[in-house]
A and B are shown apart, each in its own frame.
Chain A
Amino acid sequence: MNIFGILRIAIKSLGRNKTRTFLTMLGIMIGVAAVIAMLAIGQGAKKIVDDQINSMGTNVIIISSNFSSQRSTVQSAAGSGNLLEVEDTEAIRDRIDGVLYASTVFTTFGQLKFEGNNWRTGVMGVDADYFNIRDMQAEQGHLFYPSDVENSTKVCVIGKTVADNLFGEADPLEKIIRIRNVPFKVVGVLKAKGQNSMGQDQDDTVIAPYSTVYARLLGQRWRNMMIMVSAESKERIHIVQQDILDLLQSRHRGTTSEEFYVRTQTDLAEAASSVSDTMTILLASIAGISLLVGGIGIMNIMLVSVTERIKEIGIRMAVGANKKDVLLQFIIEAVTISIFGGLIGIGLGFLASGIVGKYMNWAVEVTPWSVMLSVGFSCAIGIFFGWYPASKAANLNLIDALRYE
């Protein structure tokens, strides 16, 4: 008999036991839905990390140094130990080919005050180049200039959130705010970037010239210094990365390459994605177990079904079904259950991913390969768990089956 004929028989006999068929399918549905939702959530997490790394700018290289270095204890102030110097930034900018922009970055926290309003937020001290690296623009007023950095002018640009909290409806431009009691003039408000995909507010920030931040807020101590560099092109980024490392080592005699962290955006992305991949695999394996349990459910029901239909099998064999026909009939029944269950499960998986995405504010993403994986997997489960009951049916003795009561 051809495969379509057997398929028709299988679907018909499944239709005779609708409730049972549905309940058996339910196991597969839940399993497939779980796998798809988990993969979607994992994919979403990966996307969040990627977005965050991409939001840093294009072709960015981040340079920091090993804080626990013991080499700088003699000349440096206690508790510092940071090898990087502002001069390193100048050197990178001037001497390395392929560097588009370079900026010193200090980060600290501070209490902001304007008239009666208080707001605590992160304060960054940077070069004017920083705005180019991060692709930031002013919505009101202007960004500060290189001359402000040279003269350690007490100016700052503020993010939208800071502006709203300190000034409300009022115009913040040219107003004096106090950061840790040091007066700064607001020269611009940054164009709003909104929340990033992790839900962090990117507009909750104050940016000032690094020289001013260094002198006025950090008390002239090198702390948390980073250098951010923007390379000319993606192709050259690794050459630039190596050149920076070489330059830093030659500028700081006696240091090893381990003492500097020169990381490209890609390095960060790879490190982050290996973490989120591990998480995805973990989640999907747990979901896979429920799929396995669903498969065992199929086997259970198929065994019951074979026992119930011994006489039917005998009749079919008597009128001309051979072992292969009977084997195929029961395997196809199992596969039909698992494939239909799988298809409905895909729908449920989409739904579950959507709900998770909506309520957790999480960018979930159902990928085509996770759908293909689920379909393939549920088909394989049907064949695997359908095989044993089907071969049991096919190997029944004709006379015994026919006379079975």
Chain B
Amino acid sequence: MPSLKDLKNRIASVKATQKITKAMKMVAAAKLRRAQEAAEAARPYSQRMGSVLANIAQAVGQDDAAPRLMTGTGKDDVHLLVVCTAERGLCGGFNSQIARLARDHTRKLLANGKTVKIICVGKKGFDILRRDFASLIIDRVDLREVKRIGFANADEIGRKVIGLFEKGEFDVCTLFYSEFKSVIAQIPTAQQLIPASADDVAVETDGAIYDYEPDAAAILGDLIPRNISVQIFRALLENVAGEMGAKMSAMDNATRNAGEMIDKLTLSYNRQRQAQITKELIEIISGAEAL
């Protein structure tokens, strides 16, 4: 049975923890709002990009003029996985969900005799995947120092991926990230980047007939690499929003649990104090009676 003093100490320490988790929740909520705003601000660009791309792809058609980034190498042997996770933990199952999806995907590919290469964006994914696939990780991108994710960060990753593709290092590239549905729901998602998956492109047929300057193929060749960076940028922004959402609900849970614990501890503290008072009273009364 812990003494009164022990109980008092424990209550104090749980209270301190509760204060911290509450503060973290509030910080996450503020960051979430900013992340959502950033994601919203970036939406017009990626939407326009999508429709422009659809228009051009139609004009160029799937013939030889289409760049290899779109048609792929025609092989399916080497897969590159770009796994985007958060830099920090304490956000529930957010990172492990993405990592699990990537891990299952990797296992499946390896079982089919494919070669897998992994690029980790974010520290947490690297920490998790390193345990199983240390030899497959060819690169990692650290965004720890980045306060606010800009297009330049995504562009850097995009260039890296395209550089590898041009050197013939892989055939298929898949991007892993967490789609931000709501504060409590983030869905780990795998999206094929190279070759551009068909459902990305096959929309909007009512477009006007365009003049292209210089010409459609040249623009397309320029547009596709940029589109890859845009996709990565979108994934990073969704990830930040998702991370903050997950952190917020995780910290909310922690705060509530701490509250419950404090209630329980306070109850047993009061009971014990009561018991001690009663005991002392009994001692006094029985002492007086003996006289």
Real binding pair: no
